[in-house]
Amino acid sequence: MKEVAVIGIGQTKIDEHWDKSLRDLAGDAALSALMDSGLEKVAALYVGNMMSGSANRQQHLGAYIADWIGLRGIEAIRLEAACSSGAASFRTAVMAVASGEVDSALVVGVEKMTDSPLQEVTAALATAADADWEAGQGLSFVALNALIMNRYMHEYGWKKEHFAPFAVNAHTNAIHNPFARFHEPATIENYLKAPMINDPINLMDASPVGDGAAAAVLLPLESLHNPSHKKIIKVAASAAATDSIAIHHRKDPLFLRAAYNSGKKAYDQAGLNPSDIDLFELHDAFSIMAALSLEANGFAERGQGPRLALDNEILPTGRIPIATRGGLKARGHPVGATGMYQIVEVVQQLRGEAFGTQVENARVGMSQNIGGSGSNIITHIFQLI
Ligand code: COA
């Protein structure tokens, strides 16, 4: 297999983009990634998206976007893996380029959620859960995560306020990210006063819905003999794993087994371990997911995720910076696009372009995208060479 490099990145601001269509958003991110790469054309396009069929009445995003960006004729498909659709499309592109099947690839994650009323979006999100045992019983994603967070607090003795640093770090970092949904500072007081959505999850524990797209261009590393573009970022690992769709089918609902398995495969592929990771763009759709991700990937002991946050170890200056550009919590979570935002942000960090929240001397970054409540988890490790 060939080694693969990311040579171009692009993204749109996450917002309520009522004046832009799905193809406008995807096109803006894709064309800026192509421009950044210096390429005009690629052999294949992979699109990550979760809900365009219900939210935008538009499927068939491969041909739809290839045509819009002037690449009519190339191979193009859309991939769906709930909230991990973005990373799933990136991993598919990595495999295609690594195998030699295509000599270049463009990946776009896109989602446009805010044209629909929140009730419809909530129902569409719930299709990522088990229709019979979870969604069919009225459980939304907020409710599912509230069950997990309640259990976690009960088992490990944490209080609600101990989760505040996750939200405060994310919102503080997002202030420096022009592409982020929110730019207002957050404090522990804001966190404690935020309206409750589903006890114990309040507004400051939850990621917002939003519209946005993020993209990357991939080439085989061997083709970059005389690179005229920016620093070269190698894909050091790409790995995926699944768990049960329904939470109650897990032996231990407080352990993200698929995160552990895909993380372990990724560490093994890259020949690295958690102490080598300079920053981690994790899937903080809810603050409880940030805590569980830190634990499953070897950055904290079981039950001790909040400790890292309380000790400031998750800040850009800490031992394992997370949500460095705002994370899902404050940069935003346009579900099928999120995995690509995470990857774009890791690349920015490794290139030294994460203005305002740059992690000093960052050489190795990891991204992990979670589909469902932990049922499909895709991990990538990137290295500056
Ligand atoms: N964090 C902080 N502020 C938020 C926010 C969030 N997650 N979501 C919305 N806001 C702010 C808005 O900016 C707005 O502020 P303003 O009044 O100053 O303009 C206010 O809260 C109300 O915004 P609105 O868009 O009306 O929120 P909402 O009540 O319709 O929805 C949530 C808020 C959190 C319920 C909704 O975003 C949600 O369901 N999130 C979870 C999505 C999810 O489950 N994703 C899948 C995860 S796997």
pLDDT digits (tens, 9 = 90+) for 279-300: 999 999 999 999 999 999 999 9
22-37 and 61-68 are packed helices; what angle lies between their axes, rounded to 10 degrees? 60
The domain of 182 spans 118-205+237-384
Buried b (16+ CB within 10 A) or exposed e, 3-17: ebbbbbbbbbbbbeb
* Per-residue pLDDT band at 229 (split at 50, 70, 90): low
Q: Is the pLDDT of residue 49 over 70?
A: yes
**Domain of residue 105, CATH code:** 3.40.47.10
Query: Using a 6 Å cutoff on CB, does residue 283 contact ligand 1?
Result: no
Same domain, 66 and 189: no
Whether 10 maps to a domain, the answer reads yes
**Please, which pLDDT band fits residue 231 given cuts at 50, 70 and 90?**
confident
> Has 183 been annotated as catalytic?
no
pLDDT greater than 90 at residue 67: yes
Is residue 260 scored above 90 in pLDDT?
yes
Q: Is there a single domain that holds both residue 22 and residue 158?
A: no
Distance 348 CA to ligand 1 centre (A): 27
Residues 136 and 98 in one domain: no
My answer on whether 309 and 295 are in the same domain is yes
Which residue among 175, 201, 203, 256 is best mutated to probe the pocket of ligand 1, counting the most ligand atoms within 8 A of its Cβ?
203
Say which DSSP state 279 is in.
E
Mark whether 330 and 184 lie in a shared domain.
yes
pLDDT at residue 140 in the model: 97
Q: Are 174 and 280 in contact (CB under 8 A)?
A: no
**307 C-alpha vs ligand 1 centroid, how far in Å?**
26
Give the distance (Å) from ligand 1 centre to CA of residue 265. Answer: 35
Shortest-distance atom of ligand 1 to CA 209: 37
Residue 230 belongs to some domain of the structure: no
Q: Do residues 248 and 373 both lie within one domain?
A: yes
Residue ranges of E strands in the chain: 4-11, 44-48, 75-79, 105-112, 196-198, 201-202, 211-220, 233-242, 279-281, 364-371, 376-384
Q: Residues 148-200: pLDDT tens digits?
A: 999 999 999 999 999 999 999 999 999 999 999 999 999 999 999 999 999 99
371/292 same-domain check: yes
Backbone angles phi, psi at 228, to 5 degrees: -95, -10
Q: What pLDDT shows up at residue 226?
A: 61
pLDDT for residue 126 is more than 80: yes
User: Which pTM was predicted?
Assistant: 0.98
Question: Where is the domain boundary, 191, 223, 255?
Answer: 223
| 58 and 179 together in one domain | no
pLDDT in tens, 70-107: 999 999 999 999 999 999 999 999 999 999 999 999 99
Ligand 1 mutation target, pool 209, 211, 375, most atoms within 8 A of CB: 209
CA distance 86 to 88: 5
Catalytic: which of 17, 162, 333, 380?
A: 333
For residue 211, pLDDT over 90 is answered with yes
Cα 313 to ligand 1 centroid, rounded to whole Å:
27
Which whole number is the average pLDDT over 5-28?
98
Residues 153 and 219 in one domain: no
pLDDT given for residue 227 in this prediction:
56
Q: Does residue 91 sit within a domain?
A: yes
159 and 217 share a domain?
Answer: no
Q: Can you give the C-alpha Rg of the chain in angstroms? A: 19
Q: pLDDT digit string (tens) for 309-368?
A: 999 999 999 999 999 999 999 999 999 999 999 999 999 999 999 999 999 999 999 999
User: Quick one: 44 and 59 in the same domain?
Assistant: yes
15 with 157, same domain: the answer is no
pLDDT of residue 228: 60
What's the number of domains the chain is made of?
2
Judged against a pLDDT cut of 80, whether residue 32 lies above it is answered with: yes
